[in-house]
Structure 1
């Protein structure tokens, strides 16, 4: 099994996890607007020397988004720097998918269930995507989207388990959609450790990025991010 470092700063949580020889260790703290101050301290706690390749790390996975604009930029900048300095590939993981894996790991859903993974997008909107649980795997049923709560119309029929901070807008969701939510877990947040199932599968398929290609996924079309080669920095 590959050894992976995972980073997520897409929400109020600052989350770092290490998968090494099959064992997981993590640092996970709810620290709104303090990600940049705390992130590298967390990394030092998990990997004291800072030399990732020497400690057996094969790749760095990260929460690519959607999520907080500032948080996603903090994460992408850190991952770019770490990958470049350590000559390691990056593996992007959807924050909505990682959050759905958190629900599966915590036993909130089981095989055959449909998960509605949501995040509060602020300014009266939410990010969302549905996933079907297939054993220990998740199958995305949608492309991640953002909308006003009242405009949300998840396709399909049947019950769903809803998770994530987007449920702050629960009362504003269409009544037909609310009637399909069998359980709601608004306090669930993405954790770095829940990137590992997705990242391992992507790594096995060769779906990796160079440092230069690391880029947040905002979902919103009007937001842009400059990659390393566009920032005037050496590749």
Structure 2
């Protein structure tokens, strides 16, 4: 199994985790709008020496979004710096997929369940993905997308129930009545944890789905938002 460092700052949680020799260590704090102040202090606590290659880290995994614009920028900048400094590849993992793995690890969902994983996008919208749990992994069926709750275009078979997770459920009362009736359980307080990026990252690692440092880029979903990679920063528009 590969060794990974994982970072996620796409929600109110600032979350870092280390997978080393099949042992997981995590730093996880709920600190809205304080990610930039705490991220590197938490990283120092997790990795006092900071030399990732010497420690045996194979790749830096990060929550690619969608989520907080500021949080995603902070994470992408940190990952680019770590990958450049340590000559390591990066592995992006959907925030919404990682959140589903968090729910699975905590026993909130089970094999065969459909999950509506959501993050509050503010401005009366939410980010969402529809996923399904299989025995050893979670599959993304739809998304990530951004939608107004009243027009959420989730595709479910007749009578199919779904478990809702994440902060986007704060808008659940505005969702279509049929979808509300299909929500068999809701966990609006759930936030993704960095340790839950490891399972999808391991799949990506085996399949060779890696990024170079200069390819690190958040997924915003909204078309009007853009991120400049390091190679593009400083250039005139």
TM-score, normalization: structure 1?
Answer: 0.98
Matches of 2:111 and 2:227, distance apart in 1: 37
Counterpart for residue 182 of structure 2: 180
Aligned to 1:65: 65
- For 1:16 and 1:143, the matched residues in 2 are separated by 25
RMSD of Structure 2 on Structure 1 (CA):
0.9
Q: Distance in 2 between matches of 1:159 and 1:51?
A: 47
SS of match in other structure, 1:81: helix
Q: Hey, what does 2:170 align to over in structure 1?
A: 168
Q: Which residue in the other structure is 1:24 paired with?
A: 24
**SS state of the match for residue 230, structure 1?**
coil
Instruction: Give SS of 1:129's match.
Output: strand
**Displacement over 3 Å in runs of 4+:** none
Give 1:36-75 correspondences, 5 Å limit.
36-75=36-75
Aligned ranges 1:37-186 → 2 under 5 Å: 37-157=37-157, 158-186=160-188
Alpha-carbon separation, structure 1, partners of 2:167 and 2:190? 7
- Equivalent residue, structure 2, for 1:191: 193
Structure 1 residue 232: Cα displacement: 4.2
The whole-number CA distance in structure 1 between the counterparts of 2:31 and 2:76 is 18
The answer to which of 19-28 and 224-233 deviates more is: 224-233
Find the residue that maps to 2:98 and give its secondary structure. helix
Q: Within 2, Cα distance between the matches of 1:120 and 1:136?
A: 28
The residue matched to 2:42 in structure 1 has which SS?
Answer: helix
Q: Contact conserved, 1:97 with 1:117, CA < 8 A, in 2?
A: yes
Q: How many residue pairs are counted as aligned between the two chains?
A: 233
Unaligned runs of 5+ in 2: none
| Structure 1 gaps, min length 5 | none
